[in-house]
Amino acid sequence: MAKAQLQITCASICTPGKGITACDEGPGTIGGRFEKVGVENTEENRRAYRQMLFEAPGASEHLSAAILDPETMYQKNDAGVLFPEALAKLGIVPGVKPHLKVYKLPGTGGETVMQGLDSLAARCKEYKAAGAKFAKWRSPLVITESAPSDLAIEANMRDLARYALICQDEGLVPIVEPDVVMQGTHDLETAIAVNVKVQATLYKAMLDHGVFMEGTILKTNMVNPGLDCPVSYTAEEIAEANITTLRRVMPVAIPGVNFLSGGQNLEDAAARLNAINRTKGNSPWNLSFSWSAALQMPLFELCKGKGGKMPLEEMSALYVKELQVASAAALGKHTPGPEEGAHVAKQLVAA
């Protein structure tokens, strides 16, 4: 395990004021988004769209890293350069999503774990040879009256620990992503309790497996009330919940946390990230973003009524403006609207 190189990669990804663009949707997922706006789901359209996300003029000023789908690892830009190499030339660290499909975990009421650990080492070798510097593995959990169960938490967090150790052995920085999704009616106190338990279990498992903590990054959901929670909260209350959770369980050795948007729109995600950074005090971690839908869904809206064409220049300009907002929020320097970031009971809609 080359610990020094892992730390160098982590430091690059955790550059203050920069974040991660999550472009790891598989062909089926991105195809569904294309279909809704009348764009054909071809490999060329996927390639052109991803090129726009990577090479939009000015985007690299706000991005430290990009998460790629395996398909994207082997696609090229218009100049014939593989995307991982093109990203590296722009100063953006390329990484990959190596997990496969979810499957139901026996002994639970439909809770899930991810597939792919058995072949992970071999695939990490391939991805590193293709230019990847890190990987990202997502383990989703839900909050209901009976979930997440202890069994589901333990199974998913131990899988994340095994994934992290395998990645480090193969020279890739592991980004671990325990994702407690926003669907549900749970209040903010419940969200804190569940996220504390999940993250505590994760870091205990990582210690048990001998994972090099300084060579990992946490990508996690923001600690939010459920989408259908009947209680309203301010952005500042949500920010305090996030900082409280991290302070209770997060090892100081971890260099950074990149929050996912998890169904929040850009305005709410940015307002909450901004409030989190203003609330962090002397907390040692770099707190930034790793967003997909919050950045991309407004871009797809620009494709409507364009006869199946993507207005790439228009999309590129909007995307960079979005990144400017995200970057400012990662520094606590964003100025949100008066109601942005608040949880207004029964009015949030998942993306």
The span from the CA of 50 to the CA of 46, in Å, is 6
Q: 134 and 88 in contact (C-beta within 8 Å)?
A: no
**What are the distances in angstroms from CA 127 to CA 70, 101, 133, 172, 207?**
8, 18, 8, 9, 26
**Looking at 133, 136, 219, 280, which residue is catalytic?**
219
Helix ranges restricted to H, 14-101 = 27-36, 43-55, 70-73, 83-89
The span from the CA of 76 to the CA of 47, in Å, is 8
111 catalytic per annotation:
no
Max Cα-Cα span within the chain: 55
Other C-beta atoms closer than 10 Å to the C-beta of 309 total: 11
**Looking at 25, 170, 177, 322, which residue is catalytic?**
177
333 catalytic per annotation:
no
DSSP 271-336: HHHHHHHHH-TT--SEEEEEESHHHHHHHHHTTTTSTT---HHHHHHHHHHHHHHHHHHHTT----
Residues involved in catalysis: 177, 219
